[in-house]
Amino acid sequence: MRVDVFRFFLLHHFGGVVIDMDYNLYKPFDLLDYKVILPNNRDDLHKEKVFGNCIMASEKDNRFWIFCINEAIGNKRYEKYITNNDMFRFAGPNFMYECYMKYDNKQDIYTPERKLFHPPTPDGYKGDSYGIHRCMCHWMKEKT
């Protein structure tokens, strides 16, 4: 969770792109026409809508990141952290979607369809995708 919140600080202060180390880029992307980019991580077949925070991009000083930081600081759910899946709700993909839904200026945020950044499988890449998240999850706690 700490590194996720740190990413919000980086994107706000510097702008640019943050990418997980297990994300493979297939081609360069030039999406500089957008203020914030939060790629969809699920398609309409899933009930739960989330944004893949393994790759995010932003202009410098966009207030969406301050909003997310404040939401994370006020999020006391992390005090009862029990499972690895809880982290998705506290600062990960589910959290990003919650922030988006609460945020007033949604017009600032581009949410590209899943196939562009999160194709369902490596085999799902057909030239449309900018990359794929390999989902290594090295941050997860070992099962005891």
pLDDT tens digits, residue range 47-99? 667 788 888 999 999 999 999 999 988 766 555 555 555 555 566 788 888 89
- 142 is a domain residue: no
Q: What is the pTM of this model?
A: 0.78
User: Domains in the chain: how many in total?
Assistant: 1
Print the domain residue range for 120: 2-133
- 111 is a domain residue: yes
- 55 is a domain residue: yes
Taking the C-alpha atoms of residue 50 and residue 7, their distance in angstroms, rounded to an integer, is 17
- 116 is a domain residue: yes
Cα-Cα-Cα-Cα torsion 138, 118, 93, 84, nearest 10 degrees, comes to -30
Grade residue 21 by pLDDT with cuts at 50, 70 and 90.
confident
Q: Which amino acid is it at 101?
A: M
- 70 is a domain residue: yes
Residues 6+ apart with CB under 8 A from 44: none
Tokens 């994107």 -> residue: 11
Residues in the chain: 144
What is the per-residue burial (b if ≥16 Cβ within 10 Å, else e) of 11-48? bbeebeebbbeebeeeeebeeeeebbbbbbbbeeeeee
- 141 is a domain residue: no
- 138 is a domain residue: no
Residue 132 or residue 55, greater confidence: 55
- 139 is a domain residue: no
Phi, psi for residue 69 in degrees, rounded to 5:
-60, -45
